[in-house]
């Protein structure tokens, strides 16, 4: 697919995600482009989801409180501040435009008035496409993951796309879905209306 222009076309951006692509900036040049993968990493929203045993007491303790879109810009900045990031200034602008249009969201954990962690994602129909996550307080993003899965289930979402596998996601039962199966599920989800926030 072609490169993203400086003027943000929300419909074109959503169409790219609806085709199974995702946006990333080159770490060296900062240039933004669409990328695809033959196998998408999916967080299961059924009984296959696994909350690590060591995390369960913390989830039950309610030490962290959940909020949605309370600090969207802070979550974007937190995700972009990682040592290796694909979130360029231009991509931040796109996330903010998608947020204003109701398609990009932050799912946050808080400790009192302190933002503990968060997950940044884009919703299209019944699909939640996770873009990135971060934490400021240990386990903040892990608890956000568990609570987000509970939230997505309650709202009727069918797909939690995490894009690329890593050991952290594998602990939660993430698995890789091949292209045709993923495409079929994504297209089904696009036609199902869901409200995230």
- Kindly report, residue by residue over 36-66, the tens digit of the pLDDT: 888 999 999 999 999 999 999 999 998 999 9
Q: Which tokens in the block code for residue 179? A: 């292209």
- Kindly report, residue by residue over 74-110, the tens digit of the pLDDT: 999 999 997 777 899 999 999 999 999 999 999 999 9
Three-state SS at 116 = strand
Q: Tell me the whole-structure pTM to 2 decimals.
A: 0.93
Residue 41: half-sphere exposure toward Cβ, Cα within 13 Å? 16
Contacts of 107 (CB under 8 A, 6+ apart): 66, 68, 118, 119, 121, 144, 147, 148, 151
pLDDT at residue 149 above 90? yes
Report the 10 Å Cβ neighbour count for 62: 9
The arrangement of secondary structure in 10-190, i.e. its CATH architecture, is: 3-Layer(aba) Sandwich (3.40)
pLDDT at residue 31 above 70? yes
As a whole number of angstroms, the distance between CA 123 and CA 193 comes to 10
């Amino acid at each position: 697919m072609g490169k993203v222009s400086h003027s943000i076309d929300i419909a074109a951006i959503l169409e790219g995600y609806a085709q199974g692509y995702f946006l990333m900036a080159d770490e060296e040049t900062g240039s933004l482009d669409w990328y695809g993968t033959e196998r998408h990493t999916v967080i299961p929203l059924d009984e296959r989801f696994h909350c690590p045993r060591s995390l369960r007491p913390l989830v039950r303790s309610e030490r962290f409180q959940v909020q949605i879109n309370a600090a969207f810009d802070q979550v974007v900045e937190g995700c972009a501040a990682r040592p290796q990031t694909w979130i360029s200034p231009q991509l931040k602008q796109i996330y903010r435009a998608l947020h204003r249009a109701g398609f990009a969201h932050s799912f946050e954990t808080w400790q009192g008035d302190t933002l503990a962690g968060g997950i940044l994602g884009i919703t299209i129909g019944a699909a939640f496409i996770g873009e990135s996550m971060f934490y400021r307080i240990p386990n903040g993003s892990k608890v956000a993951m568990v609570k987000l899965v509970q939230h997505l289930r309650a709202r009727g979402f069918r797909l939690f796309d995490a894009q690329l596998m890593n050991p952290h996601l594998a602990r939660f039962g993430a698995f890789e879905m091949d292209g045709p199966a993923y495409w079929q599920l994504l297209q089904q989800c696009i036609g199902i209306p869901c409200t995230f926030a």
